[in-house]
C-alpha cells in the first residue's frame, strides 16, 4: 500500500519540478521575432499524413502563387520537411524525431498538415501527438482560431491556451494501481496571463469592446479559478473592453443559439475547452474542414487545419475529395503573420466567395462533390480576379442591407 503511494508521490514530485522549471523559462521570456527585419523568411512545409499530405499540397499551391514575386526576389523561401509522417514518427518512437525538430527550428514559420495521433488499440506505438509536441517544443502558446459566418453576422475569434491545461501532462498521467488513475491539469500564472493579454490586445486593436473568458471555475476551482482570476486582473488594464465569464457548458449551448451567438466576438479559454469549442464553431461555419488555426509563439509560429488526418477518408479512397479550405485558411493566417495582410485578405475573400456566398463548387468529401484540386484551382481564379474585392463587397452589402 505504502509503496504505491510513495511511488506516486515521487512521480508527482517530478512533475511539479518540471512545471516549476517551465514557469522559470516563461518568465525569462524571448523577444518577439520581427519579420520586417528578416532578409529571407523561411517557410517550412510539414505535410503530415492521411489527408494531410493532399490538402497541404493545395495550400502550398495557393501560398506559392500568392508569394511568387517574393520567392523570385529571394524574400521568401519554402523548405520541405518530410519527416512528420506517422510511419517516420513511429519508426523513431518520437512525437517529432530530433532531426525533424531541428529542421523545423531553422524555419521562421511552419505550414503543418494534419498528422495522425496514435490512440490506444491502434497499430502505432502510443507516442504523443505531433501537434501537441510541436506546440510545447516551440512554445506556441496561443492557438488563434477565427470562425466567420457572414450571413449571420458571426465573427468569432477563439484564443485557445495552447501549451498547458489538460494537455501539458496529457501523456504523463499514471495508474496508481489497477483501480486508480490520475491525469493532471496545469494552469500557471504566466501561462494564463500571456494568452489573456493577447486576446485583450486583439480586442483593443480591432475596436471590439467586449470579451468572454470561458472556464468551469465554479467546479474546477483551482486551475480554472486561476485562469478566470488572471483574466479579470488583466482586464483592469483594458477598461475599454468589458470582460464576462461564461462556463463551458452553457457556452457550447449558446453557440447554437441563433439569437445570442453573434454577440460573442473574442473568446479566451484553457486548452481543452478551446479544442472542443472550436470544433463546434467550425462545424457551424461549414465543417471542421473549413477552419484554420494559428499557433503563435514569440520565436516561431505554426499554421494548421483544426482537424486531424481523417484516416477513414483515406481508407475509403476519398482523400482527393477532402476539403483543403482549412489549410488554405491557415495559409492566409500565415501570410498575415509574416506581414502580407493584403494578400491574406484576398485569399480570405476568395474563400468566403467560394464557400459561403457563391457556392458554385461544393466539397462533400465524396465523389458527389468536386476534388480538393478542382476547388483550389477555382479559388485561385478568384484570387486572381480583378473583380474579387467588388464581388466580395457586393455580397457583404447584400447581407448588411
Ligand atoms: C486540434 C486537434 C489536436 C488537439 C489533436 C490532433 C491532438 O484536435 O488541433 O484541435 O487536440 O489539439
Ligand atoms: Mg481539436
How many whole angstroms from 275 Cα to the centroid of ligand 2?
A: 4
Q: Which atom from ligand 1 is nearest to the alpha carbon of 279?
A: 10
pLDDT at 356: 87
pLDDT mean across residues, the chain: 96
- The C-alpha cell at 137 is 517544443
Residue 215 has, within 13 A of its CA and on its CB side, a CA count of 24
The Cα–Cα gap between 75 and 204 comes to: 31
Q: Is 306 in the pocket of ligand 1 (CB under 6 A)?
A: yes
If one residue of 272, 308, 309, 330 were mutated to test the ligand 1 pocket, choosing by the most ligand atoms within 8 A of its CB, it would be 308
pLDDT digits (tens, 9 = 90+) for 18-41: 999 999 999 998 889 999 999 999
> Ligand 1, atom 7: nearest CA belongs to which residue?
129
pLDDT digits (tens, 9 = 90+) for 312-356: 999 999 999 999 999 999 999 999 999 999 999 999 999 999 998
**What CATH number belongs to 33-140+297-401?**
3.40.718.10
In the numeric block, the cell 468569432 is attached to 156
In the numeric block, the cell 473568458 is attached to 213
Find all residues with CB under 8 Å of 280, minimum gap 6, and list them.
252, 255, 256
Any idea where the domains of the chain sit in the sequence? 33-140+297-401
Residue 120 has pLDDT above 90, yes or no: no
Residue 47 has, within 13 A of its CA and on its CB side, a CA count of 17
Strands 266-269 and 210-215, sheet pairing: parallel
Q: Provide, for the chain, the percentages of residues in helix, strand and coil under a 3-state DSSP scheme, each rounded to the nearest 5.
A: 50, 15, 35
Strands 154-161 and 142-149, sheet pairing: antiparallel
What pTM was computed for the model?
0.95
Amino acid at each position: 500500500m505504502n509503496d504505491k503511494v510513495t511511488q506516486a508521490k515521487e512521480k508527482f514530485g517530478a512533475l511539479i519540478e518540471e512545471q516549476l522549471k517551465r514557469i522559470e523559462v516563461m518568465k525569462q521570456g524571448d523577444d518577439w521575432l520581427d519579420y520586417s527585419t528578416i532578409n529571407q523568411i523561411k517557410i517550412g512545409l510539414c505535410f503530415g499524413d492521411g489527408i494531410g499530405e493532399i490538402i497541404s499540397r493545395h495550400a502550398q499551391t495557393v501560398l506559392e502563387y500568392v508569394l511568387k514575386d517574393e520567392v523570385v526576389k529571394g524574400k521568401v523561401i519554402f523548405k520541405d520537411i518530410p519527416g512528420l509522417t506517422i510511419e517516420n514518427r513511429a519508426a523513431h518512437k518520437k512525437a517529432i524525431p530530433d532531426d525533424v525538430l531541428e529542421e523545423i527550428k531553422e524555419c521562421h514559420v511552419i505550414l503543418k498538415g494534419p498528422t495522425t495521433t496514435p490512440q490506444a488499440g491502434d497499430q502505432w506505438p502510443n507516442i504523443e501527438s505531433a501537434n501537441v509536441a510541436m506546440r510545447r517544443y516551440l512554445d506556441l502558446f496561443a492557438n488563434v482560431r477565427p470562425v466567420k459566418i457572414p450571413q449571420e453576422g458571426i465573427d468569432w475569434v477563439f484564443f485557445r491556451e495552447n501549451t498547458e491545461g489538460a494537455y501539458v501532462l496529457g501523456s504523463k498521467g499514471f495508474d496508481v494501481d489497477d483501480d486508480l488513475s490520475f491525469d493532471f491539469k496545469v494552469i500557471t500564472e504566466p501561462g494564463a496571463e500571456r494568452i489573456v493579454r493577447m486576446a485583450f490586445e486583439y480586442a483593443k486593436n480591432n475596436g471590439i469592446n467586449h470579451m468572454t473568458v470561458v472556464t468551469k471555475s465554479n467546479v474546477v476551482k483551482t486551475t480554472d479559478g486561476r485562469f478566470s482570476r488572471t483574466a479579470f486582473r488583466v482586464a483592469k488594464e483594458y477598461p475599454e473592453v468589458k470582460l464576462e465569464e461564461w462556463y463551458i457548458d452553457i457556452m457550447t449551448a449558446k453557440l447554437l443559439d441563433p439569437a445570442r451567438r453573434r454577440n460573442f466576438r473574442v473568446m479566451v479559454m484553457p486548452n481543452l475547452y478551446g479544442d472542443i469549442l472550436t470544433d463546434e464553431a467550425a462545424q457551424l461555419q461549414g465543417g471542421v474542414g473549413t477552419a484554420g488555426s494559428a499557433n503563435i509563439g514569440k520565436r516561431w509560429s505554426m499554421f494548421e487545419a483544426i482537424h486531424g488526418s481523417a484516416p477513414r477518408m483515406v481508407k475509403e479512397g476519398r482523400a482527393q475529395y477532402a476539403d483543403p479550405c482549412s489549410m488554405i485558411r491557415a495559409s492566409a493566417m500565415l501570410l498575415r503573420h509574416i506581414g502580407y495582410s493584403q494578400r491574406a485578405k484576398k485569399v480570405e475573400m476568395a474563400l468566403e466567395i467560394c464557400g459561403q456566398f457563391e457556392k458554385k463548387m461544393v466539397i462533400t468529401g465524396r465523389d458527389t462533390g468536386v476534388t480538393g484540386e478542382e476547388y483550389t484551382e477555382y479559388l485561385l481564379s478568384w484570387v486572381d480576379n480583378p473583380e474579387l474585392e467588388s464581388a466580395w463587397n457586393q455580397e457583404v452589402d447584400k447581407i448588411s442591407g
